[in-house]
Amino acid sequence: MNLKAVRHVFEYLVFRGFACAIGMMNVRQINQLASFLATIMVDVLPRKVSRYTIAESNLKLAFGESLCDEGVRQHVLSMWKHLFRMVAEIVQTPRMLCLENSRESVIFRDRAQTIEALASGRPVIVLSGHFGNWEISTACFGIYGCPMGLIARAMDNPYLHQWFAEYREFLGHQQILKKGGFDDLIKVISKKGFVGLLADQDAGPRGLFVEFFGRPASTFKSIALLAKEYDALICVGYARRMSDDFVNHRWSRYEVGCNDVIDPREYQTAGAIKEMTQRFTSSLEQAIRMAPEQYFWVHRRWKHQPKVRLKTLPQESGNNIGAERMASKVA
């Protein structure tokens, strides 16, 4: 067994030990532990470990100078607290959330349009971002009898990857790998099934640039293309953590909502793909603005920007050469 394999086994054993301890804790204890770990991440560990600089840059890009340094710190602190709680909730979901008690922990908003989409007889792409507890939203679909094909990236640790795959399959879903799982995705869509995915990551220099918090963000156009080709509805949803009530509720509470349902039949112009992509990106932004501290700000969402080409007016030959060289460097 090589060093990498040993590290994977060690990481998995640590995770399982952590999961075992979490399984015995109540929501108040988890909240206290998450607060402690978040403080360690932000105020004790190097900022490179907590990715504080990335989060700070993203928050400033999204909200501008209206967010002071202390405001940034509070957002990052709350973000890590939320993420630690989310991991604990994933561990506890199979035991704590079921059909019989779901209404105690989950409040649904705009449920009618979601049900209408699911009952339409057409494929449905359930789309969200790294906001709130995206695993809770998919869990709700599972316990209510609407299994989905969940698109996810393969984790580096094979043991952790298998654990999360079994967790999702326990809820009735099928995990589809982001790389290498295209055929499985098409099978689900072709059978007019449901597909769940997160659509808020940078798509690289060749992505489709649309506005996200007022700035161009490279976004995957494959979602809109898939919806157009297979006549699939796009449901943009979220699962937002609500305020705690440690007295009357023994678990966390979430609002699961649908911000928008996008029908590709409404888009027939040459710019249909960009219009649909902009619409679901704006819907995700609308959800994030409800609780910015629950968004995963450590993604490099604005990593790539559109290339700018300089247009030059006719000049003398010597100046033209310099301008052309400058334009080629920028492009």
Task: Quote the pLDDT of residue 310.
Answer: 53
Q: Residues 40-71: pLDDT tens digits?
A: 999 999 999 989 999 999 999 999 888 899 99
pTM for the structure as a whole: 0.88
Q: Residues 166-192: pLDDT tens digits?
A: 998 888 899 999 888 899 999 999 999
Mean pLDDT, all residues of the chain: 90
Pairing of strands 106-109, 254-262: parallel
Residue pair 301/58 in contact by the 8 Å Cβ criterion: yes
Copy the structure tokens of residue 280. Answer: 């679901």
Task: Assign 311 a pLDDT band (cuts: 50, 70, 90).
Answer: low
d(CA 150, CA 173): 7
d(CA 272, CA 277): 9
The SS3 assignment for 305 reads coil
> What's the average model confidence in pLDDT over 246-257?
87
Non-local (6+) Cβ contacts of 299 within 8 A are 58, 130, 200, 201, 202
Is residue 312 predicted with pLDDT exceeding 60?
A: no
Name the residue with tokens 């796009």: 234
Task: Quote the pLDDT of residue 232.
Answer: 98
Q: What is the DSSP letter of 242?
A: P
> For 247-263, b where at least 16 C-beta lie within 10 A, e where not — what string?
eeeebbbbbbbbbbbbe
Residue pair 125/82 in contact by the 8 Å Cβ criterion: no
Among the listed residues 224, 234, 321, the one whose alpha carbon sits nearest the alpha carbon of residue 271? 224
Q: Residues 220-245: pLDDT tens digits?
A: 999 999 999 999 999 999 999 999 88
